Amino acid sequence: MPAMPPFLQMDDLEESFTGSGSWVTDPTGTIRHVTTGTRFSEESGITVDGQEYTLTPNDIELCGEGGTLGSGACGVVRKGFIKKTGQPVAIKGIKIEAKDKKEQLMNEVRSLVTAQWCPNLVTWYGGFVSRSIVHVVLDLMDLGSLRNLRNSCKASGYDGVPPVHLAIVTSQSMKGLEFLHNQHIVHRDIKPENILYSSTGQVKLTDFGISRSLDATIEMAGTQIGTQIYMAPEMCLGDEYNFSVDIWSYGLVLYELATGTFPFPPLSNFATLFECICEKPEPRLPVDGPYPAVMCEFVEKCLTREVRERGDTPRLVRHPFVATVESEEEFASFLSTLQRP
């Protein structure tokens, strides 16, 4: 592969970390979060709880034309590889402009440290600071998000993702959620765009920027965080909530992938969204449709307003719908037949 421009040239933005009492920048340019001791440095990468996750801009080479994987409010994700190993990676640049963005970065980095022990969570190889922008180097999931999977199935003549393949998608997604919940972490933004998949048949949860630690004995105070149309009723109401919000959100994702259609009509205002989420009958897959009964039951367990009756990850990872699934190799074989929209 021809040499690419140095990584330091990839972004000319000059946002600063200064201005927040819990963040300081020392004379060497190292950025420190005072409370946790987490450090972001151009020289030593990112340090969390005394452990260095060291990469430098010179360790990474960007891919050329077509190397941009996506962009959003916080920054750009680009495709590259680690020079020493040839490992393909995704490089996420995070612009930090305000205190809430700094705290979101802290949540994401600390969650990535936790995620390295779970095969169904996007993990990382380290990170560094370049021109006051934090870059984290992540697993490359080469086919993108489940939104792409839904669109690829549609382009290939399917009404939705076939149930046999949704079973392995759900199995891997639930294992990722179970790991987070066992660590007392609520994701809070489960949606198709935040579940990635690869040509090898792997499925992983990503984007832990708004996830939050939750003590098992204390319910979280209500805050409306996350993508609104996938929001659980208790969040929509501003009530206290717990791990169950992720289960509701995944239920909507599963329904959408199965049918090819989001269960709620086009929404133009919050009042209509509120009515759909909190008042109208919960979405259900038709039992007389092309969906296995165990899959219909799984969706019902997820999309139940009464939190005490909603499924949880210890039970859902063992549900009959995901008890026996195809292998990742079989799923990968199916993926290879799909057209790209």
Q: Known catalytic residues?
A: 189
Q: How many Å apart are CA 232 and CA 277, to the nearest integer?
A: 7
For the CA atoms of 126, 127, 128, 134, the dihedral, rounded to the nearest 10 degrees, stands at -160
| DSSP-based helix, strand, coil % in the chain, nearest 5 | 35, 20, 45
Q: What is the enclosing helix (H) or strand (E) of 104? A: helix 99-115
Over its C-alpha atoms, the chain yields an Rg (Å, rounded) of 21
Inter-residue contact 209 to 221 (CB < 8 Å): no
304 conformational bin, left if phi > 0, alpha if psi -120 to 50, beta if neither: beta
Residue labelled with tokens 């009042």: 271
The span from the CA of 85 to the CA of 243, in Å, is 38
DSSP SS3 for 93: strand
Q: What is the CB neighbour count within 10 angstroms for residue 4? A: 15
